[in-house]
Amino acid sequence: MSDSKSGSYKLAGVDVEAGYKSFDLIKNHLEKTRRAGSIGEAGGFGGLFEPDLRGMKRPVAVSGTDGVGTKLKIAFMMDKHDTIGIDCVAMCVNDIICAGAQPAFFLDYIAMGRNIPERTERIVAGVAEGCIQAGCALVGGEMAEHPGLMPDDEYDIAGFSVGFVDHDSMIDGKTIVPGDAIIGLASSGLHSNGYTLVRKILFAGDCDLEARVPDFGCTLGEELLRPTRIYVNAIMGLATKFRGKIKGICNITGGGFYENIPRMLPDGIRAGINAAGIPALPVFSMLAKMGAIPQRDMYATFNMGVGMAIAVAADAADAMIAELRSMGEKPIVLGTCEQGEKGVDLIW
């Protein structure tokens, strides 16, 4: 415990001793994420990581940063904070792998009205679990109390991650041509997008987060807090085995299909998506019905059951699907790439 104590600062709303206690509680979670390249000890001013770039002729660092957004409101309402960190990691590393980069390290930033050490530990435990799933090291972070700026019982979390890829192995969509197939990887549900609309739909009237929903196999609150899937192992395993056959990758987040799929396409290529072939997840059916949300708006807001879309060479699609299934994934043929103005057509 540090000797840095300030009764005046504590009276103003910042409890530095709670910060020290939080750090003591989270150190073991950081240790769980150590991997090759992890150097230094927790508590330094900068997070240290020594990348092994041997074998890369022209290494490229790929970075990603994001937060969890208003999904946090559900965590506050349920007082459940152990999975939000997984979401934060997922939102960053799932972007990095779209370039074919292996995530190497991660940092988080947690701003809170009041530092409650036990709650902070639960948050960071989730971050560590996400890092373990992504194969990256949690090399540092920051906790900041903001009394007067945020309510005591609320916080915000954001993250930042860096990965590495050889320049010649980067996936950038430039080689996509008409006839290439698009494979979809299943999402776990809402992931971490569209929660402003979710809350408007569900909380317009009385909504019981503790109510068990048979179609979900859990309570409503548990479904809404179901963590975002992390696709690192699936994508990196596929990229290793099918070098050059993966042409583009799209993380379907906010903006749904209409905003995200075109981001992996070059000019002159349009994606034709077989929306009718996507297995329906009950949570999306419920939201569409309760909110009377038009079909197009659903696909322009949510992932609709597909968390990742991968553009691949047509002659490798079947083998890739088989490989993904061997990893425990549930891939589908989502559509094809066609000649036309860059964009997406959904076919029902």
pLDDT of residue 7: 72
Report, as an integer, the average pLDDT of 153-163.
97
Tell me the pTM.
0.95
* Model confidence band, residue 205 (pLDDT cutoffs 50, 70, 90): low
- Using pLDDT thresholds of 50, 70 and 90, give the confidence band for residue 206: confident
> Of 44-53, 92-101, 130-139, 212-221, which gets the smallest average pLDDT?
44-53
Read off the pLDDT of residues 125-157 as tens digits, 9 standing for 90 and up.
999 999 999 999 999 999 999 999 999 999 999
User: Which pLDDT score is estimated for 3?
Assistant: 62
pLDDT at 105 over 70: yes
Q: In the 3-class helix/strand/coil scheme, how is the chain assigned residue by residue?
A: CCCCCCHHHHHHCCCHHHHHHHHHHHHHHHHHCCCCCECCCCCCCCCCECCCCCCCCCEEEEEEEEECHHHHHHHHHHCCCCCHHHHHHHHHHHHHHHHCCEEEEEEEEEEECCCCHHHHHHHHHHHHHHHHHHCCEEEEEEEEECECCECCCCEEEEEEEEEEEEHHHCCCCCCCCCCCEEEEEECCCCCCCCHHHHHHHHCCCCCCCCCEECCCCEEHHHHHCCCCCCCHHHHHHHHHHCCCCEEEEEECCCCHHHHHHHHHCCCCEEEEEEHHHCCCCHHHHHHHHHHCCCHHHHHCCCCCCEEEEEEECHHHHHHHHHHHHHCCCCCEEEEEEEECCCEEEEEC
